[in-house]
Amino acid sequence: MSMKPESGRLPATGPASGQSGFTVIELMIVVTIVSILAVIAMPAYVEYATRSKVSEAMGFMGEAKTSVSEYFYTNGYEWPDSNEKAGLPTADDYDAYDYILRLEVSSSTPPTGVITVTLDLPNTPADEKKLQLVPSTSTGEIVWVCKPADTDGVENKYAPANCRI
């Protein structure tokens, strides 16, 4: 006696009706949708993360701003021409600061009293780019203007809102 049905086909195994679980096609669709969302989100995240690191580096420039201002007022309205005169570490001695490669105070070329920071942001578009704090004393008090450096400046989209041109 044979176990074959009379039609010549083997009997179906598994659930007869009402399929459970995902099919391969459904899983492929889900993976595709997640991939598309990741491709859209990654550049936005990289831009956000870079901007936040640049902003944090700007916070460290506050110490330099205070030192330069104090020097200016205590030395007859003269700008310091070096980090040392301003009472700051040497330009290359900022390893302990996150995201700062160099911070330099310069008065060698107008405008004087400019604080320039070179960013240390490896694997980002802002790595080794520069931001500046430029002082103005036209009103009798020091007003600091933040801007990307003329050479190797940070792109506007990565600069803090108050530093964009």
Per-residue pLDDT reduced to its tens digit, 15-43: 555 566 778 898 999 999 999 999 999 98
**Counting runs of H as helices and runs of E as strands, what totals does the chain give?**
1, 4
Residue 104 lies in a domain: yes
Residue 17 lies in a domain: no
According to the per-residue pLDDT averaged within each range, which of 20-24, 107-111, 134-138 is highest? 134-138
Residue 13 lies in a domain: no
Of residues 106 and 12, more confidently modeled: 106
pTM (predicted TM-score): 0.73
**How many residues are recorded in the chain?**
165
Domain count, the chain: 1
Q: How far is CA 163 from CA 30, 62, 83, 89, 150, in A?
A: 42, 14, 22, 24, 13
Q: What angle do CA 90, 138, 143 make, to 5 degrees?
A: 50
Q: Where are the beta strands (DSSP E) in the chain?
A: 100-106, 114-119, 130-136, 143-148
DSSP single-letter state for residue 155: P
Residue 21 lies in a domain: no
Residue 19 lies in a domain: no
Domain that holds residue 46: 31-163
**Does residue 125 register a pLDDT over 60?**
yes
Query: In which band, very low, low, confident or very high, does the pLDDT at 150 lie, cut at 50, 70 and 90?
Result: confident
Residue 86 lies in a domain: yes
Residue 87 lies in a domain: yes
**What CATH number is attached to the domain comprising 75?**
3.30.700.10
Residue 4 lies in a domain: no
